[in-house]
């Protein structure tokens, strides 16, 4: 999942950014409103975390412009402004969630996960595909009752594939949603990750769940046509 974090506090950029990356999210960070708007217009984000008091362009203006452009990326407002009027204004302009500083990092993570699920029209935190069970809250995976040990990045990849179950997902889409710009996109990092994931969730290749569509991408399904 790819996130955009627009926050002018350098310290929050560093600490929250590090936490989100450690949690497996691909993350773009900026401290300027204009730059944040540009990022949001140029990329498809699974969630945008937006501060309100920003240099350049304030958060509410960024949000309004995004909604005017019919950009439906989920937006979580993360701000020190705590009055009811502020919340109503933010949510009224199209924000999907509102979190007031100071916040618990775990709560921020949970809200981001909920927004990501909602983006793919999924309400249940538990995704079941055949004998594969993905708990998007506990961030655990079980297959036929046994725990599957995945790295955060692998989990994120599996969650993204499961979120778009039955759809063919191109490499570029995976790159855009799972990897940050720092990754060399010319490399075969996606193929390697898919290969690693397959080994873990389909050890014997008896009944593969991740299928390759040559020249198109990958699809997660029990028995795709």
Partner 1 sequence: MNSIRRRLTVGLLTGFCVLWASAGAGLYLNLRAGLLAEFDATLLARAQALSALTRQEKGNVELDFPGELIPGFERGRPVDYFQMWRADGTTLEQSPSLEGNQLSYQAGVAETPRYSDLTLPDGLPGRSVSLRFIPQGSEEAPDVPPAQGAETSVVLAVALHRTGLDHRLNLLVTTLLVVGGLLAVATGFGVPAVVRRGLSPLDGLAEQAATIDVASLQLRFPTADLPAELLPICGRLNELLARLQASFERERQFSADLAHELRTPIAELRSLAEVALKWPEEPAATTRALQETLEIALQMDSIVTGLLTLARCEAGLQQRSCASIRVAALLEEIWEALADPARRKQLAVSWDVAEDAWVETDPAMFRSILTNLLANAVEYSPEGGSIHVRFETGDAPWQITVSNTVDNITPAEVPHLFERFWRRDPARSSCIHNGLGLALTRAFAASLGLEVNAQLTASNTLTLTVRAESASVRSTSSR
Binding site for partner 1 (CB under 8 A): 8-12, 14-16, 18-19, 22, 31, 51, 53-55, 58, 80-82, 100-106
Query: Of 16 and 219, which has the nearer Cβ to partner 1?
Result: 16
**Minimum distance from CB of 78 to partner 1 (Å)?**
8
**Minimum distance from CB of 55 to partner 1 (Å)?**
4
**Minimum distance from CB of 12 to partner 1 (Å)?**
5
Query: Of 152 and 166, which has the nearer Cβ to partner 1?
Result: 152
**Minimum distance from CB of 211 to partner 1 (Å)?**
34
**Minimum distance from CB of 39 to partner 1 (Å)?**
17
Query: Of 64 and 146, which has the nearer Cβ to partner 1?
Result: 64
In sequence order, the 6+-apart residues with CB closer than 8 A to the CB of 132 are 141, 142, 143, 201, 209
**Minimum distance from CB of 138 to partner 1 (Å)?**
15
Closest by CA to 195, choosing from 218, 173, 214, is: 218
Rounded to an integer, what distance in angstroms lies between the CA atom of residue 117 and that of residue 111?
A: 10
Query: Of 151 and 187, which has the nearer Cβ to partner 1?
Result: 151
Query: Of 102 and 204, which has the nearer Cβ to partner 1?
Result: 102
Query: Of 24 and 74, which has the nearer Cβ to partner 1?
Result: 24
CA atoms within 13 A on the CB side of 20: 29
């Amino acid at each position: 999942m790819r996130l955009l974090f627009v926050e002018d506090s350098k310290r929050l950029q560093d600490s929250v950014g590090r936490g989100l990356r450690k949690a497996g999210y691909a993350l773009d960070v900026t401290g300027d409103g204009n730059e944040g708007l540009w990022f949001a217009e140029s990329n498809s984000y699974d969630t945008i975390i937006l501060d309100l008091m920003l240099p350049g362009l304030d958060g509410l203006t960024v949000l309004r412009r995004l909604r005017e452009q019919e950009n439906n990326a989920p937006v979580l407002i993360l701000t020190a402004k705590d009055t009811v009027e502020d919340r109503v204004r933010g949510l009224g302009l199209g924000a999907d969630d509102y979190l007031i500083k100071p916040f618990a990092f775990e709560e921020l993570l949970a809200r981001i996960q909920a927004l990501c699920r909602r983006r793919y029209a999924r309400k249940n935190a538990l995704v079941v595909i055949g004998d594969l069970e993905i708990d998007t809250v506990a961030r655990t995976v079980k297959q036929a009752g046994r725990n599957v040990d995945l790295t955060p990045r692998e989990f994120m990849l599996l969650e993204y594939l499961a979120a778009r179950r039955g759809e063919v997902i191109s490499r570029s889409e995976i790159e855009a949603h799972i990897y940050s710009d720092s990754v060399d996109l010319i490399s075969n990092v996606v193929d390697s990750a898919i290969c690693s994931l397959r080994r873990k969730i389909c050890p014997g290749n008896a009944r593969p769940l991740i299928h390759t569509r040559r020249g198109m991408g990958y699809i997660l399904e029990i028995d795709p046509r």
